[in-house]
Structure 1
Amino acid sequence: MYPHFYKFFTLTLLFACSWVIAQPPRGPLVVSPQVHTDKRITFRYLAPTARQVLLDGGQFGASGVPMTRDSIGIWSVTVGPIKPDIYPYGFKVDGVTVMDPANVNYFPNERFKASLVDVPSEKPALYDLQNVTHGTITYEYYPSVSGITGRVVVYTPPGYDKSPTKKYPVYYLISGTTDTEETFFKVGHTNLILDNLIAQGKAVPMIVVMPYGNIAARIAEQSPNGTKPADPTIRDAPDAVSRAKAFEDDLLKNLVPYVEKNYRAISSRDSRAIGGFSRGGGQTLRAAFGNMDKFAWVCSYASYLSPAEMDRSFSQIGGNAANTNNQLKLLWLGIGTEDFLYKGTVEFMDYLTAKKVSYKSFTTDGGHTWMNVKKYLTETLPLLFR
């Protein structure tokens, strides 16, 4: 008995020692970002052997700002004050862009995943976590196109689990170019905005379904031959419309049926809304205009369809404006004056106006950013399903 015990004890001790020896030495604790009460922000990055570290925070006016190295290799810089909001940032270390390893909050994206810094306002913003009853976020997988598995994030409103017979309207909210199914949740704070609006009595309790909009990338990811998809950021590529159609087919044939089978969703066009940002806004408009029997509420965040595409593929929208206005309970278009899609969106609005198609518009300052997306959500969520 005892020899076996000592043998076991010795092996355990040797394993523990080898595990400890195998671990890399831990560096000094780095706190980053540090948001000060005066809205200035200190960023820090540990890189003892780096020759140069720059702060890459263009969306809060700090693009390529040099950082200073201390005696133990921690680079730092303080900028601001910064207007309260949630901003992406990163570091350029000897020319290579990296995330902030001291920060657990990041921007979900197909490409570079920026870190996020939240500069709080004196009074809690609508997208902030507040002392209200909260809904639930669920990560779901569903059978998608070509035998692959789709990914989606689903928000259910406060009280959903406590009312097993109650059904809810559904808002299908589509991610932008290179964004993932998590972006409306982690960056747009859609769940917190809705929690706060519902608590204030300003929004109807609803289910929000947030899918990943890039079908081609998902097929490539799960394909055994590793097929590489076309670059989704090329908006005028010949296959842009076909990629939008692939998403539309997946949405209508796979995702909507899955949601209505597995959640207490009201299965009628009057209780379905669809919206999206950037590429997701284009997918929204195409899916809605091509399936007027499926969606009665349509929200386009910083996106548009050209007059040529409207006349070619959706001539019935402007050709029979009275019918369109009767079918759509809401057609909402939002854009920032500094957005690179501003001109095209204004031309789209002018087209609808000329055709006498009713719509609501919202113009703000700023560019093609998720700071503006939160504004669009704040404006549209109270309008849905009223």
Structure 2
Amino acid sequence: MQKMQRRSRKKTGERYELERSPLAQSPTQKDIAALVRETKSDLKTLATGRFKEQFLVRRTITTNGKTRELVYPEGRLRAVHERLKFHLSKIVQPSYLMSPRKGRAQRDNAAAHLDAAQFLTLDLRQFYPSTTRQMIRNSLAAQFGMQTDVAGLIGHLATADDCACFGSPLTPVLAALVHRPMFDRIADRCRSDDLSYTVWVDDLTISGERLTGDLRTAIRAIISEHGLRSHKLKTYTGNRAVFITGVGVVGSNLVVPRRLELRSKELWAELKACETFEEKDTSSTRLLSHLGGIRAVVGPSSQRGQKIASEMNSIRQKREKARRSHQQEFLARTSGALQLSDSEKIARKAEIDALPF
């Protein structure tokens, strides 16, 4: 069974453990202001009152039938959020955290659960809106050892209506950090049971040889103790594909959803129906991109990945052959029976080579 992923600092940009962060060196409000390139006075003004509201955007969006209320910063307040995110992102993250994290993708999240016999997935209900200003302040004070006035200032900057800004670039990184003690407790429980465990924003996945009812009860209790709620708790066996953040796990193999395989057939049919070179070129590019995405998920060394590589190579060869044929036809049409001088032939060849096919 594949264990938790090792830390990778080279790809993520993570540089130091939490206790070595500038935020853990007993910073004052003035120090925090300097980190985000503001004066202490201006930062406190940005954090409170009507002035702060001027830098907040409020929108309602509907995706997949769900309505979400977005509140995110713009202008100077957004710049502050970006700079706080920059400093928090330098902290080395635990191996179970897959997102928000540079250098990790949905494939990595699923690959951590290869060869598992049983799976447990659950979501954290209203993860960002449930992350309150008080949670942020208390967490920063506890984990970084900040003075309460400093932690409180960051809490005001990072929130709107007393909860984390839904839509801010800072919120995913900050929320993962604020709830790290909870995630760590779950990781400890999974480790004691020899289970694999990953976190993708608010989606938790646990897998192993056997998942007990006591484990599910314990995890839900830990989440509740930290002021959050869990839902969409589901258990699966490895007899068929188990999809984890959009990537399927079948034994020791990764697969894509059926809709993507069906899309491949549609793109192949479109390519075969093309008549002109321009149509074939566009269709080939579209199909190559699609197949490349599937190959990245299933892995280049897998049987499916090797088959896709052969298909892509065949498409490229046929496209190159068609391109050369089209160039020759173009040359024949434009030159005709004209007798060209050597300089004209060179100019004509340069013109052909510059064509976008």
Give TM-score, length-normalised by structure 1.
0.23
Give TM-score, length-normalised by structure 2.
0.24
Q: Which has the larger radius of gyration?
A: 2
Which gives a bigger RCO, structure 1 or 2 (Cα 8 Å, sep 6+)?
A: 2
Greater strand proportion? 1
Greater helix proportion? 2
